[in-house]
């Protein structure tokens, strides 16, 4: 909506409309922009996709127009600066980045632009910012009043407790000490109070105004399935619900990433691996394909994803349990940034619980750190085991109260629960009997335990005379899956630990209360395969063919949409940018729907700013007429 405003307007709404082509601010954006524009410090907590970038870009533009020079944006990932700067230049905002990928001449050219005050935004990695050379340049800018603001993106990287800690972020407090008059805005999508306190402390943001948005991502549907045959479950999920769409599959180890990507490729899904063990060139290439193509599935460790702002990621799948809820929420938050329906899907099983517990136990960290990690894992396990609304639990973890969401697996298909109190007692006492048997090993793994409970006759049972145990066969009425569920729950709750090379089981002190029947345990009834299929179907949008237009377009509009997309791909290739930076799918859909006949009408479409209208307007009108 490009209302005719003067180039030099510094009103936030005018800039939003003129430069970015959006009709209105979202949520707290306007308040944040006004606060920073008028020189205040801010700490912004907003979920992924909430629209953090505009919170510093608009004040930067406004202050630049007011003669305040250049805004410095600290961003941890040099690999993504190119696209961010590309998007600004497309919108007609003079921006640049400084990083190690640039040659000497390019660096000099950009430094000249910066020192002259012509540049509106400069992106740089933290380690770059704190070099003597850069600080000298900032000194000079600051003396001339040409340092408009500092934006510190992904500010949680400063927290040593968090999962993305970057040493170089610690040096950023120098900005405040050296340039106390320059406003600073720190932004993050990590919301827990611990990290927040760390950011405030380490970046000296005590006087900053705090802006906390709701962390809800209502378009993301959360689902946790019991791990049975994880690969098949994943394939069914992608095949049934996300064929021809972009997604991310997270695995814990590099090896598993490689294997899963190769296997998906065999199943004719365009899948690429990404992890820190791959050559930097390969990593960059895979990332570029993911950003630029429409239907790539990235199979990755958590090394992948920070700063990825691809808006049309339709699903995030976890084949392994993430470390904690913060990590889970960040990772799943990469789905559906465009506000369209998206899925967060996780397969979860006993081995996940055992692995994560063990990783903490065996880590060289101090006791305090371990205690904190255990607490975080417990919260995540409670989420995975929950039979009530997942979103209520997620938001509750971040201190936000809400009601049942109607858009998670448990809301959509409330699970049946059964009283497992008695079964849990039987299981625990069976472990106890093993440990107190007169001969043979004292500890056994899950398989043998369940065999004994179900009264099976196996070689091992015969070898150790376990058919004589009082717990032999006491659980014949329950299926193996149910027993696994009971055991998983007990491990999740910490009443049973799994130890050593053979994952043998032992009781902890806290098992006593359960043994005595003092703790009631309600478990979800494991869903048999056909039922799971139904859940998956009902919880999905209707499967749709690859690259289809939005369903609400009539056939003529669909044809226009497809021509616009083809045109956009051309432009994106020419400019070496992802297509969504040229125009979002939503903007193309609106053009196809409205079929504007003039530049003025085209300018009404959300996402069409003045610069883009000028650069592409005529071509788009032509494509629309021809299409
Ligand atoms: P974040 O950094 O918080 O994850 P972004 O800044 O990348 O989110 O914004 C997410 C998406 O929302 C982008 O495509 C952005 O252009 C869009 N967006 C942000 N603010 C608005 C707005 N006020 N109106 C329309 N779209 C917006
Ligand atoms: Zn729900």
Q: Helix, strand, or coil here: 426?
A: helix
Report the pLDDT value the prediction gives residue 538, as an integer from 0 to 100: 36
- pTM, to two decimals: 0.81
Q: Give the distance (Å) from ligand 2 centre to CA of residue 329.
A: 15
CA distance 253 to 459: 35
CA distance 69 to 350: 56
Q: Give the distance (Å) from ligand 1 centre to CA of residue 48.
A: 9
Ligand 1 pocket member 54 (CB < 6 A): yes
Ligand 1 pocket member 309 (CB < 6 A): yes
Under 8 Å between Cβ of 348 and 355: no
Ligand 1 pocket member 125 (CB < 6 A): no
Distance of CA 521 to the CA centre of its chain: 32
**What is the average pLDDT across 614-621?**
96
Q: Is 195 exposed, middle or buried (0-12, 13-18, 19+ CB in 10 A)?
A: buried
Q: Give the distance (Å) from ligand 2 centre to CA of residue 409.
A: 7
Among 51, 58, 80, residue to substitute to test ligand 1 (most atoms within 8 Å of Cβ): 51
In this prediction, residue 548 has a pLDDT band, given cuts at 50, 70 and 90, of low
- Given a cut of 70, is residue 544 above it in pLDDT? no
**pLDDT single digits (tens) 164-187:** 888 899 999 999 999 999 999 999
Best CA proximity match to 521, nearest among 419, 622, 426, 394: 419
Q: Is 516 exposed, middle or buried (0-12, 13-18, 19+ CB in 10 A)?
A: exposed
Mean pLDDT of the chain: 90
CA distance 278 to 419: 48
Ligand 1 pocket member 310 (CB < 6 A): no
**pLDDT single digits (tens) 474-519:** 999 999 888 988 998 888 878 898 887 788 999 998 899 888 888 8
Q: Which domains does the chain have, with CATH numbers?
A: 12-212 (3.40.50.300), 220-412 (3.40.50.300), 417-524 (1.10.10.10), 549-626 (1.10.150.80)
């Amino acid at each position: 909506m490009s209302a005719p405003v003067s180039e030099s307007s510094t009103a936030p709404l005018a800039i939003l409309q003129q430069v970015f082509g959006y009709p209105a601010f979202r949520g707290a954006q306007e308040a944040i922009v006004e606060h920073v524009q008028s020189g205040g410090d801010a700490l912004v907590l907003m979920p992924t996709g909430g629209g953090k970038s505009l919170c510093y870009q608009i004040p930067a533009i406004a202050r630049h127009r007011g003669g305040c020079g250049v805004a410095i944006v600290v961003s941890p990932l040099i690999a993504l600066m190119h696209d961010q700067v590309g998007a600004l230049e497309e919108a007609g905002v003079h921006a640049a980045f400084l990083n190690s990928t640039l040659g000497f001449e390019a660096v000099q050219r950009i430094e000249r632009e910066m020192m002259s005050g012509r540049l509106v935004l400069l992106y740089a990695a933290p380690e770059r910012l704190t070099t003597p050379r850069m600080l000298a340049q900032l000194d000079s800018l600051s003396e001339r009043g040409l340092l408009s603001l500092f934006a510190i993106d992904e500010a949680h990287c400063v927290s040593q407790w968090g999962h993305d800690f970057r040493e170089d972020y610690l040096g950023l407090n120098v900005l405040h000490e050296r340039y106390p008059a320059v406003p600073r805005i720190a932004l993050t999508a990590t919301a827990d109070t611990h990290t927040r306190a760390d950011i405030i402390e380490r970046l000296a943001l005590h006087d900053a105004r705090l802006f906390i948005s709701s962390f809800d991502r209502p378009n993301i549907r959360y689902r946790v399935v019991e791990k049975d045959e994880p690969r098949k479950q994943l394939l069914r999920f992608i095949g049934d619900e996300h064929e021809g769409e972009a997604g991310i599959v997270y695995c814990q180890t590099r090896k598993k990433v490689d294997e899963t990507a190769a296997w998906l490729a065999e199943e004719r899904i365009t899948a690429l691996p990404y992890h820190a063990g791959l050559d930097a060139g390969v990593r960059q290439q895979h990332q570029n394909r993911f950003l630029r193509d429409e239907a790539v599935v990235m199979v990755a460790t958590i090394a992948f994803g920070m700063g990825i702002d691809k808006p049309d990621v339709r699903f995030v799948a976890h084949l392994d349990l993430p470390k904690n809820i913060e990590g889970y929420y960040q990772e799943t938050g990469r789905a559906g940034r465009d506000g369209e329906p998206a899925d967060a899907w996780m397969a979860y099983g006993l081995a996940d619980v055992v692995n994560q517990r063990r990783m903490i136990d065996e880590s060289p960290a101090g006791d305090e750190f371990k205690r904190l990690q255990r607490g975080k894992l417990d919260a995540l396990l409670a989420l995975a085991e929950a039979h009530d609304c997942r979103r209520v639990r997620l938001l509750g973890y971040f201190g936000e109260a809400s009601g049942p969401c109607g858009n998670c697996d448990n809301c959509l298909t409330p699970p049946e629960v059964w009283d497992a109190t008695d079964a849990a007692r039987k299981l625990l006492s069976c472990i106890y009997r093993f440990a107190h048997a007169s001969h043979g090993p004292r500890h056994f793994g899950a398989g043998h335990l369940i065999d004994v409970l179900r009264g099976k006759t196996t070689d091992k049972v015969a070898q150790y005379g376990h058919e004589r145990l009082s717990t032999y066969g006491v659980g014949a009425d329950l299926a193996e899956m149910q027993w696994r569920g009971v055991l998983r729950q007990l491990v999740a709750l910490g009443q049973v630990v799994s130890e050593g090379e053979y994952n043998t089981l032992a009781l902890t002190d806290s098992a006593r209360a359960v043994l005595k029947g003092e703790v009631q345990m309600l478990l979800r009834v494991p869903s048999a395969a056909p039922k799971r299929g139904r859940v998956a179907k009902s919880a999905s949008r209707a499967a749709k063919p690859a690259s289809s237009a939005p369903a609400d377009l009539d056939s003529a509009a669909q044809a226009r949409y497809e021509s616009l997309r083809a045109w956009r791909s051309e432009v994106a290739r020419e400019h070496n940018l992802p297509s969504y930076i040229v125009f979002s799918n939503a903007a193309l859909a609106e053009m196809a729907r409205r079929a504007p006949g003039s530049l003025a009408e085209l300018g009404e479409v959300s996402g069409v700013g003045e610069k883009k209208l000028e650069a592409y307007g005529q071509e788009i009108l032509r494509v629309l007429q021809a299409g």
